[in-house]
Chains A and B, each alone.
Chain A
Amino acid sequence: MIARSNAQVFESLRTAILRTLVASRHSIDDSFAALAEETVRRHFDSALRQMQQHLHAPSQKALRHFVSQWSAMLMGLGLVPRSILRAVVTLGDLVVQTSKNTLPPGPGTNLFVREIVRMNFATARELVEVFQQDFVAEEQSHAQY
């Protein structure tokens, strides 16, 4: 049997993860509870698709581009940076939990989960870098007044 790639494994879990994410959005953060279900679904779906793309062809540049755009859109909906970061971390945790609960235990699953956690760390780091840039920009705006 041909071993499935990480992206293929992720694809098989994506729908279930999205369903759980949308259903449990209230526990991510209060601000997610205030958003319409469809809005939350759209944003998490795009994040999950990006994760799958990253597993298929890792690119730090593409990840940075996505993180920057994704966070800007969520901020446009009124979310603060903390809530967005919390969403990213929750997303990673949920993928890990779903993988552990769904996939057969063993070294293959552990290697897959490690890739997920590595990606989750990289995403969180990129997000923090984006916030840092925002902070510097805010400081510059502040200096103008």
Chain B
Amino acid sequence: MPNTRDDSAPAHSSSTFESSVSGELNSGESLSDSNFSVQSAGLTDVGLEREENQDCISVNPELGVYLVLDGMGGHQGGATASRIGCEVAAEVMQHGLASGRAHGELLVDAAKQAGARIHVDANRHSELHGMGTTFVGVVFANPQLAYIAHVGDSRAYLMRDHRLSRLTEDHTVVAELVALGKLTPAQAHNHPHSSVLSRNLGGLHTTNVDLSELHLKPFDRILLCSDGLNGYATQGDIEKIVDGAILPENASADLVELAKRGGGGDNVSVIIIDVGRHNQSSNSNSDTERLRRDGAQAWWKRRKLFLRVCSDMGLAESSIAAGLDKSEAISLLAGSYCEAVYHDLNNTSGVHVWTFADSLVTAWLGKSSSYPPLRELFDTLRAASLAVCEDLSQEDQDFGVCLEIAVLRSLVVGEMVIGSQMSTRIQKLSAEIAATAPSTELPDATFSGNPTIPFGDFEARSQPLSDLSDDVALALETSLSETKAALSLDHNPYLAIVLSAANESALDHNGKQEMSGTARELYGNHLLGESELNTIVAALDKARVAQLSEIRRAPTTDSGAQRTAFYLLSSAHQILFHALAMIVIEAGKPTSDRLQELQQETERLRLRVSRNQDILAHDVDIDTVEEPSP
């Protein structure tokens, strides 16, 4: 048998808290009724680069209180701040809840008292001067209501209906500048000080603490984390794990592993709190539960079959296994993959297969750019996986289908890894080409660079977006909504696309590029016949006439704005029509070239036929008649 998750856990220190509660909260409301229960698990880890863990977490299911703190302030300071903060806040919560204080207000007070205590200690001890900590905490008031308080950039997320949404806004200098409109989100993303906090506990004696209410539904899952998670993993990847893992302890362990896979450059802490989720797993997710319980075992039981198929298909002869003897190759490639699938089945995640594929693909593409051996390897692993599923189907057909679904998803993960690495390489090459290309001018043949229809002033807009007045924008928006209402009964499927594209283009001085995309989509997404092309042209006509009429009709006090909007919109429609015409010409060019050739050939043959007719008419020897050339 492979190692259990605990056995295979990395050697560096981690603290784990796991809990399951079905009792009374001190609010007096029951957590043990059939519709509601809370399960939770927390994990904090030093990560891969830091020497000290300056995060601190507290999981108290009896009180329904959960805290994550991320300390800062040099050697010792950060760890001390988060520890003090955690202890003080937990103590305040315990006493306050016992005395019946309101939950939300109490959580804010706990954070403030923690901040005050850290501030005092920092001023007392010079080596701790400047220490502080972030804070994110949840307290359950009753089964349907929780409060979330936070300071800094530790976060709370909610997983509901398979979607992960963030519940807290980071308190960073950059985020506040964005809120004030002094930076755009794009500028903020690349800002060198994007992680500088605007608030923390301990920096000042009193701190503003944000508080929000969360109305809960059964099967909700809450995630609290330090920035060691979201700084090293995308929200999409976090979402997959939080959504997919059956148990909170699996989710928290996989999230920590995800952060490390992303570099692990910071301490990472997570707490997962489930609301009634285990009821779901025992009912609607029974297949998933069965896969986790029995599927992993069934897969592992057929390990030899998996390895044998891989061996029979010549996996050891793959160039990826060059330099290894046969048993080493089978063990290293097939054995490791088989074990990764086992762990992922056991944990209802894709992390282990991802890690396997990522290491393999990185190593292979690092020394060779050859893709076919990778494809062959993954095809072999797929064939062996399907052989295992087929074998299981002999015993239990439906369970075999369930296992095939799970192993195919593992294989999709493999494709995802290969594609991601290729994406990086393509982007790198494109950047190199752009840097070394001798000229930035577009070649004449480029679609957008060689207009066949003169547009005069329409080609270069003199009206950049920033110069558009509110009146112009309003006139355009009003025209769009009025036109949509006026044409709502028209069933032309392309109308909505044309209307929106023209309006977007009119509002945006870079709209021409977007028009190429829109035209390509209008034409290329549907293998067009003549009638569909006519429908598109009809949509273009209707949209243009209706939108321009609405602009004329719009009541506005500023006739200049009306004229500008009219000009921009008519320009947008012309550009869209031009773009579509070019796409049609482009698509028809091969046929048109061939037609021209055929025309020339026909003309040549006609000449010969006519010459031969003349010869025959004059009763000349048949041998002099020209043979048609092949």
**Which residues from B are CB-within-8-Å of A101?**
284
What sequence of 0s and 1s flags, for each residue 409-426 of chain B, a beta carbon within 8 Å of any chain A beta carbon?
101100110111011111
Q: Which of A1-50 contact B (CB under 8 A)?
A: 20, 23-24, 26-30, 36, 38, 42, 46
Known interface pairs A131-B426, A138-B426; A29-B236 also in contact (CB < 8 Å): yes
Chain B residue nearest in CB terms to A87: B236
Known interface pairs A24-B163, A94-B162; A128-B433 also in contact (CB < 8 Å): no
Give the size range of A's interface with the partner: 35 or more
Give CA–CA (A130, B433) in the complex, Å.
20
**B163 near A86 (CB under 8 angstroms)?**
no
Tell me whether B587 is interfacial, beta carbon within 8 Å. no
User: How far apart are A46's CB and chain B's nearest CB, in angstroms?
Assistant: 5
Which of B267-275, B514-522, B529-537 is near enough to bind chain A?
B514-522
Known interface pairs A93-B240, A138-B429; A121-B284 also in contact (CB < 8 Å): no
**Which residues from A are CB-within-8-Å of B520?**
73, 76
Chain A residue nearest in CB terms to B413: A89
Tell me whether B287 is interfacial, beta carbon within 8 Å. yes
A145 contact from B286, B433, B517, B521, Cβ within 8 A: B433
User: How far apart are A26's CB and chain B's nearest CB, in angstroms?
Assistant: 8
**B236 near A145 (CB under 8 angstroms)?**
no
**Which residues from B are CB-within-8-Å of A36?**
500, 504
Known interface pairs A85-B423, A86-B416, A145-B438; A73-B521 also in contact (CB < 8 Å): yes
**A117 near B412 (CB under 8 angstroms)?**
yes
What sequence of 0s and 1s flags, for each residue 344-384 of chain B, a beta carbon within 8 Å of any chain A beta carbon?
00000000000000000000000001010001000000000
Known interface pairs A141-B433, A145-B437; A134-B408 also in contact (CB < 8 Å): no
**Which residues from A are CB-within-8-Å of B521?**
42, 46, 73
Query: For chain A, what secondary structure do more than half of its interface residues adopt (helix, strand, loop), or is it mixed?
Result: helix
**Which residues from A are CB-within-8-Å of B424?**
82
Known interface pairs A81-B422, A81-B423, A121-B411; A135-B398 also in contact (CB < 8 Å): no
**A23 near B163 (CB under 8 angstroms)?**
yes
How many residues of chain B get a CB closer than 8 Å to chain A's CBs?
55
Give CA–CA (A94, B236) in the complex, Å.
12
**A131 near B437 (CB under 8 angstroms)?**
no
Q: Which of B70-125 contact A (CB under 8 A)?
A: none
**A135 near B516 (CB under 8 angstroms)?**
no
**B426 near A110 (CB under 8 angstroms)?**
no
Chain A residue nearest in CB terms to B404: A114
Q: Which of B405-462 contact A (CB under 8 A)?
A: 405, 408-409, 411-412, 415-416, 418-420, 422-427, 429-430, 432-433, 436-438
Q: Which of B240-263 contact A (CB under 8 A)?
A: 240, 243
Tell me whether A124 is interfacial, beta carbon within 8 Å. yes
**Which residues from B are CB-within-8-Å of A89?**
412, 416
**Which residues from B are CB-within-8-Å of A134?**
426
Give CA–CA (A5, B447) in the complex, Å.
43
**A85 near B433 (CB under 8 angstroms)?**
no
B236 contact from A28, A38, A73, A97, Cβ within 8 A: A28
**Which residues from B are CB-within-8-Å of A100?**
284-285, 287
**Which residues from A are CB-within-8-Å of B412?**
89, 92, 117, 120-121, 124
**Which residues from B are CB-within-8-Å of A63?**
none
User: How far apart are A70's CB and chain B's nearest CB, in angstroms?
Assistant: 8
Chain B residue nearest in CB terms to A81: B423
**B409 near A85 (CB under 8 angstroms)?**
no
**B419 near A85 (CB under 8 angstroms)?**
yes
**Which residues from A are CB-within-8-Å of B425?**
135
**B401 near A90 (CB under 8 angstroms)?**
no
Q: Which of B469-509 contact A (CB under 8 A)?
A: 496-497, 500, 504
Give CA–CA (A29, B425) in the complex, Å.
19
A82 contact from B243, B420, B430, B438, Cβ within 8 A: B420
**Which residues from A are CB-within-8-Å of B239?**
27
**A69 near B236 (CB under 8 angstroms)?**
no
Tell me whether B32 is interfacial, beta carbon within 8 Å. no
**B415 near A121 (CB under 8 angstroms)?**
yes
Give CA–CA (A81, B286) in the complex, Å.
36
Known interface pairs A73-B521, A82-B423, A85-B420; A38-B401 also in contact (CB < 8 Å): no
**Which residues from A are CB-within-8-Å of B285?**
100
What sequence of 0s and 1s flags, for each residue 155-175 of chain B, a beta carbon within 8 Å of any chain A beta carbon?
000000111100000000000
Chain B residue nearest in CB terms to A24: B163
B408 contact from A28, A80, A118, Cβ within 8 A: A118
**Which residues from B are CB-within-8-Å of A82?**
419-420, 423-424
Tell me whether A59 is interfacial, beta carbon within 8 Å. no
Known interface pairs A24-B163, A111-B401, A132-B371; A121-B416 also in contact (CB < 8 Å): no
In order of increasing CB-CB distance, the 3 nearest A-B pairs are A82-B423, A81-B423, A124-B415
14 pairs from A and B in contact (CB 8 Å cutoff) = A27-B239, A69-B524, A69-B525, A80-B423, A81-B422, A92-B412, A93-B409, A117-B404, A118-B408, A121-B415, A124-B419, A135-B371, A135-B426, A142-B432
Q: Which residues of B line the A interface, CB within 8 A?
A: 161-164, 234-236, 239-240, 243, 284-287, 369, 371, 375, 397-398, 401-402, 404-405, 408-409, 411-412, 415-416, 418-420, 422-427, 429-430, 432-433, 436-438, 496-497, 500, 504, 516-517, 520-521, 524-525
